[in-house]
A and B are shown apart, each in its own frame.
Chain A
């Protein structure tokens, strides 16, 4: 694999990871997750 292809591959992987991380982070703060979490503390 050439150097430029390797850099492109890592850049794409990093972008994908960043995108998934962003949506995951939003998932942590989503209403259903929070209700589940709050129930586990109060019920």
Chain B
């Protein structure tokens, strides 16, 4: 264990969960600012949308580097920098009057803040703080913390906008994000896990790149990003297009958010008892079947609610399992780095999912083809998880063995 004194695994877990809650939850509420900000500042919607797309891209690209720095120099430095960047980005969002300023604040600064304060960095520390037998459950709990943040911060953001206006709401959110800085002290400490055969981070990345299972995991994670962002962004519009009310659209999203908390914990718990690759395969298969059944049956309140609940249960359940599998195969020394690379796949999938959904709807006037692609990709991901070799790599890296 690499924590001392008061930094017990329980404290690391609790603080890591709150950090993820703040980081992921705050980001979740950004969509609520589109209407009031665009209206007051006279922006077109593409100005706002471009900054958020940029944010996702920066988050995905910067995360492997954030993970690498966290693995080498310790997570606290990365988390403190990320907390400051996140808070500064939110505060500057409030003062942005041009599209370029908004791109820098909401896109670049918040994107960098997210890369250093979300899954890759936090889960790397949590993964190292717990022994293998308890690791999966711990990752499930910290993942559930992030899911909880995503669920509660959306109505919290709306309440802030309603009470104080969008400008002050952003400043309050900046203060909330700043809490990441003091919380980071609980995750401080050098990464003292010995590297297998004194393997360097570059060698670890090289080793992962030659492991088929790592590629399968990354591709499956890309599918996860595609499916979740498509559903999150386009499901309400799909439901309203089909004649349902906005209340029903929001109920579906709320159900996804609520069941996501349970699903994240459950997948971590189950990952401690069963094969993680089979659980991942089940998650992708269940999603594919749920999508096909949902679009095949007549749309009713119940079918929407059940779909929301099933998707919620499988929503971020992939994160603790993917993270746990990376830790299981490659060890925890460079967990933040390797998981962050896989997460880049997730973000690329997210980018494609949100764009492709809109593009296909504009081109064909229907989401049907996108739903079918999402289901087909789910089947592909379920199949790809099956041949992953889950065994821990114990061989000494070639270069070292030759010495």
Contact = CB atoms under 8 A, between A and B. Distances in A.
Interface of A: 17, 20-21, 23-30, 32-34, 36-41, 43
Contacts of A25: 254, 258
A43 B35 contact: yes
B159 interface: yes
Contacts, number: 65
Contacts of B251: 28-29
Contacts of B253: 28
B236 A37 contact: yes
A40 B154 CA distance: 15
Main secondary structure, interface of B, reads helix
B249 A37 contact: yes
A27 B158 CA distance: 8
Contacts of B297: none
Interface string B259-299: 00100000000000000000000000000000000000000
Contacts of B249: 37
A38 B237 CA distance: 9
A28 B257 CA distance: 10
Nearest to B159: A27
Contacts of A30: 155, 158
A16 to B, nearest CB: 11
B193 interface: no
A18 B281 CA distance: 30
B365 to A, nearest CB: 15
A2 to B, nearest CB: 14
25 contacts: A17-B261, A21-B148, A21-B151, A21-B261, A24-B152, A24-B258, A26-B155, A27-B154, A27-B155, A27-B156, A27-B158, A28-B154, A28-B253, A29-B251, A29-B254, A32-B158, A33-B158, A33-B250, A36-B32, A36-B158, A37-B246, A37-B249, A37-B250, A39-B35, A40-B31
Contacts of A20: 148, 152
B250 A28 contact: yes
Contacts of B159: 27
A18 B32 CA distance: 24
B155 A33 contact: yes
Given A21-B151, A27-B158, 13 more contacts: A17-B148, A17-B261, A21-B258, A23-B155, A24-B154, A24-B257, A25-B254, A28-B154, A28-B254, A28-B257, A30-B158, A36-B158, A39-B35
